[in-house]
């Protein structure tokens, strides 16, 4: 390989690795998932909360006792996209609750539901 190509390749790899998102930080606390007024998940003190650097998070993902879990992904303008697995023990959070969720304290509230996560 010539020197210019090697330098270009090294710069490209450095940029690609630097652009990778930071790993999630796991904490435990209280969490809940409410959809259509029905509470599907309500865990005190022991709920696994995986926090991303941009404020996005997942609750109850990879829990010892699988049930319901949700993803809250931060969007522009103070909104969040929220999805959950919708069926107890289902392995994918492919049911979109909406992109209209806004933060209120430790909860994100939208037209179709509410997801809360509070570190203890």
For 62-119, write each residue's pLDDT tens digit.
Answer: 777 779 999 999 999 999 999 999 998 888 899 999 999 999 999 999 999 999 999 9
CA 4 to chain centre: 41
Q: How far apart are the first and last CA of the chain?
A: 55
At 25, phi and psi to the nearest 5?
A: -110, 130
Angle at the Cα of 78 from the Cα atoms of 28 and 59, rounded to 5 degrees: 20
pTM for the complete prediction? 0.78
């Amino acid at each position: 390989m010539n020197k210019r190509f090697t330098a270009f390749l090294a710069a490209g790899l450095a940029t690609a690795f630097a652009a990778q998102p930071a790993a999630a930080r796991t904490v435990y606390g209280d969490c809940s998932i409410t959809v259509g007024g029905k509470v599907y998940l309500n865990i005190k003190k022991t709920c696994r909360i995986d926090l991303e650097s941009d404020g996005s998070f997942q609750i109850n993902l990879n829990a010892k006792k699988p049930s319901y879990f949700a993803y809250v992904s931060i969007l522009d303008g103070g909104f969040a996209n929220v999805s959950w697995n919708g069926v107890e023990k289902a392995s994918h959070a492919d049911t979109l609750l909406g992109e209209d969720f806004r933060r209120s304290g430790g909860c994100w509230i939208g037209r179709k539901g509410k997801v809360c996560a509070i570190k203890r």
